[in-house]
Structure 1
């Protein structure tokens, strides 16, 4: 499944990525959804390395 979030932000204190998703963006039947993903330091490094390529 792929989603297209309206907002994405990162909270350094908890190593958490936040995705705000709205209807019609991959999650049917959802009015507004907040998805939070907590990353390990290694996962965050890999994510940043992938973005900076």
Structure 2
């Protein structure tokens, strides 16, 4: 599944990524949904390393 969030933000205190998605962005039947993913410091480091490679 692929989603295209309208907004993405990160909360350092809880190591949480937040994705705000709306209809037509890969999740059918959703008016507005907030997806939160809590990362370990190692996962965050790997994510940043992957982004920096692009």
TM > 0.5 fold call: yes
- Structure 1 runs not aligned, ≥5 long: none
Give TM-score, length-normalised by structure 1. 0.99
Deviation at 1:7, TM superposition (A): 0.1
> What's the Cα RMSD here?
0.3
Give TM-score, length-normalised by structure 2. 0.97
Deviation at 1:50, TM superposition (A): 0.3
1:2-52 deviation per Cα after TM superposition (whole angstroms, max 9, x unaligned): 000000000000000000000000000000000000000000000000011
